[in-house]
Amino acid sequence: MTTPSASACPVPEKARVLETLKRAGFNVPDFIYIPAADLRAKNFTALQAFLATHRGSFKIIARSAHPQEEFFKGGTFDSLETYADVGGVVYAWKRMINFATSAKRLSILRQQKFNRAPQIDPQEMGVIVMPFINGSNVMAKIIGGTWEYGYCRDRVHKIKSEPYITRTPHDRRLQDLSQKIQEHLGFRCEIEYIVSEDSDIHVVQAKDISRVEVLEQKESERSIQLDGIRRIRKRRNYRERPIYVMDNMALYLAIVGLCEDIVNAGHPIEAGLEEIRGLIRSCEATLEDFALRHERFAVLGLSIEVPEDLYQVANHYLDDSPEHQKALSRLLLDNRYQIDFFLSEADTLIAKDKIRINLCGHDAYGIDTVRDPLWSVYWEIERHDRIVQEFKRIGFKTGDFVCIHIDANDKPTVCRH
């Protein structure tokens, strides 16, 4: 690790472990850790020297490196591809800080409440800079005494597959390498690799997961295997969750109704716009309150994506007053972001087939999802109207607990308590 000027903040776990592995001879890409103090002071001497040795790279990877990052779930803070120059690194650093206070704000608050994660200052975010390696992302860790490997974000092939987990890696070297890394570090770890186009295996992160309780491990310590069972009802898969019922079409219809009051009923435009703002802010506060009351929850999406025509109506209803329409459109755009942030915290999504959780590596197979993997429960698009009517007939509402049964044919049934 190239070392910049001394900083008062401790070196993050991510950088310390990479340096340990690099010194031990593991194939860790060349990298440099830049603390926040140097970035704020524009002390780029070490960074410029590092980039000068990688002039052949048009892109680099800037990885988050907050001094307290080890106490948060993998993927909480961001890594970005950016230009291989000082400006690109500074841009990525500012984006990371911005994400921590916006897109990842709710996730951080939830981990502080439910996982005892510490209070942090996003401005102390440092950056690890590595050359960009074009290849496949693989994550390895031991679950239930056996190594498992998660694959995703394949940058090599044009056709991409969904993330998947296997106990048989595509290259046997991965198992030997993972075992050696864990033995060298002396703690249970989750190891992230990039397998390049020429099949070189690069170690880009090794996270200490010895503090994470894995259900399979605890069950094996507390269980005794017996000889048989007799039962009438068999449940192959089962989950219970509090639900948030999301109906964004109803929200937009209410907004359009308030716009009609402004245009057709002659309500004062400033007062009407403030009423719309209050409605949207109230909905957003409800989302955050729900997410901070329930560590794990499901979203029942009666309407997540607003029909395009309704979205356009709301975004153009006040076109005769461009300044006010611009303010309304800004509110609607911000609201879509807040809805996305909320949805990213749910571990169960119940919605039509078109709507699904977009899984990245940590979401798909990170250590924090072992006990509670993400579920996307869906119905076919052609049955959407009928299914929504059934949910309303039965009376599903926010705060209800639902149970999800998955039968032997992987067909889910959702029941309201």
pLDDT of residue 225: 41
- Within 10 angstroms of residue 86's Cβ, the number of other Cβ atoms is 14
Task: Judge whether 232 lies within some domain.
Answer: no
Task: Judge whether 227 lies within some domain.
Answer: no
Question: Which of 187, 216, 245 is a domain's end point?
Answer: 216
- Which domain does 12 fall in, by range? 1-17+28-132
pLDDT of residue 270: 87
- DSSP 8-state class, residue 344: T
56 and 195: one domain?
Answer: no
pLDDT of residue 369: 61
Question: Which of 132, 152, 172 is a domain's end point?
Answer: 132
> What's the rounded Cα separation, in Å, for the pair 358 and 261?
38
Task: Judge whether 222 lies within some domain.
Answer: no
pLDDT of residue 412: 87
Task: Judge whether 224 lies within some domain.
Answer: no
Cα–Cα–Cα angle for 87, 88, 90, rounded to 5 degrees: 65
Question: Which of 132, 154, 186 is a domain's end point?
Answer: 132
241 and 388: one domain?
Answer: yes
Task: Judge whether 228 lies within some domain.
Answer: no
pLDDT of residue 7: 46
Contact 352, 379 (CB under 8 A): yes
Say what the pTM is.
0.81
66 and 173: one domain?
Answer: no
What DSSP string describes 298-333? Answer: EEEEEESSPPHHHHHHHHHTTTTSHHHHHHHHHHHH
1 and 149: one domain?
Answer: no
User: Nearest Cα to 170, choosing from 181, 156, 189?
Assistant: 156
* CA 67 to chain CA mean position, Å: 20
Amino acid present at 66: H
291 and 401: one domain?
Answer: yes
Q: What CATH number is given to the structural domain containing 174?
A: 3.30.470.20
pLDDT of residue 236: 47
Residue 287 has which token pair? 């989302």
325 and 381: one domain?
Answer: yes
Amino acid present at 100: A
* Packing angle, helices 86-101 and 105-114, rounded to 10: 60
194 and 212: one domain?
Answer: yes
278 and 350: one domain?
Answer: yes
Digit-by-digit pLDDT tens for the chain (417 residues) are: 555 544 456 899 999 999 999 999 999 999 999 999 999 999 999 999 999 998 777 899 999 999 999 999 988 999 999 999 999 999 999 999 999 999 999 999 999 999 999 999 999 999 999 999 998 899 999 987 889 999 975 554 555 567 888 899 888 999 999 999 999 999 999 999 999 988 999 999 999 998 876 555 554 444 444 444 444 444 447 889 999 999 999 999 999 999 888 888 777 888 889 999 999 999 999 999 999 999 999 999 999 988 889 989 998 888 888 888 889 999 999 999 999 999 989 999 999 887 666 656 666 566 666 667 788 888 888 989 999 999 998 899 999 999 888 877 788 888 887
For the chain, what is the domain count? Answer: 3
